[in-house]
Amino acid sequence: MIYWKNVKNSATVLSLSLLALIIVAKYSFISLISHVAIGVLIAFFAFRLYKFIECQIQKKDDVNPFESYLNEEIQLPYDRIHQQIDTLIEHLQIIFVQLRRLFLIEQVSDSIKFFLLLWSLTYIGEWFSAILLLGVFTLPKVYQVHHEIIDHYFAVIKAHVDHAIELYHFSLFLFFVFAFIYLISILSAFY
């Protein structure tokens, strides 16, 4: 998908992901749910209005196109729902006990680890932005197409970095040598 072998699928996923990111960044969750519900309601109303006009033109009786769905009884599997809710409550109880233990600092080391986890998650959350999404969908394809040129320039950059590190180590060595000589000259002046 990220190598754009099927352009339609990759473009669709990228477009929908970017649209979702933009919408979630701009609107609150409640506002988002309301707008989606309003859109669905308008679509159903438009279809109902279309069917009403169609019946009026054909001189038929007006029938609700959703009548079969309205007459259908909704049967929820209560046993399965209760089983799932019981399992969910068990998991939530374990999670809340752990969170209480971590937030109320039962063990200092565990709470510090939890703090570090939360702190790192803030940075991970910043990484998953629209730019990262664009990078995931563009950089692999760019590398696949131009890998010889990119590898060449990375080798050049690596050679420059290695040379700079060697110069740094050599200058650090010279600094300590001159500092040692200076220290000896100062100490020899006292004796």
Asked if the structure places residue 164 within a domain, the reply is yes
Residues 134, 11: contact at Cβ < 8 Å?
A: no
Domain interval for residue 156: 146-191
Spatial distance between the Cα atoms of 27 and 23, rounded to a whole number of angstroms: 6
Q: Is the pLDDT of residue 25 over 70?
A: yes
Helical ranges in the chain per DSSP H:
7-26, 29-57, 67-71, 78-103, 108-127, 130-145, 147-190
> Residues 67-89: what's their mean pLDDT?
89
Asked if the structure places residue 186 within a domain, the reply is yes
Asked if the structure places residue 163 within a domain, the reply is yes
Spatial distance between the Cα atoms of 88 and 98, rounded to a whole number of angstroms: 15
Question: Domains in the chain: how many in total?
Answer: 1
> Residues 16-43: what's their mean pLDDT?
81
> Residues 57-81: what's their mean pLDDT?
86
- Model confidence pLDDT, tens digit, residues 128-170: 666 676 777 788 888 888 989 999 999 999 999 999 999 999 9
Asked if the structure places residue 178 within a domain, the reply is yes
Contacts of 129 (CB under 8 A, 6+ apart): 21
Asked if the structure places residue 182 within a domain, the reply is yes
Helix axes 130-145, 7-26, angle to 10 degrees: 160
Per-residue tokens: 93: 């109880």
Q: How far is CA 37 from the centre of its chain?
A: 25
Asked if the structure places residue 20 within a domain, the reply is no
How many CB atoms lie under 10 A from the CB of residue 23? 13
Asked if the structure places residue 81 within a domain, the reply is no
Spatial distance between the Cα atoms of 166 and 34, rounded to a whole number of angstroms: 61
Asked if the structure places residue 151 within a domain, the reply is yes
Lowest pLDDT segment from 1-15, 20-34, 87-101: 20-34
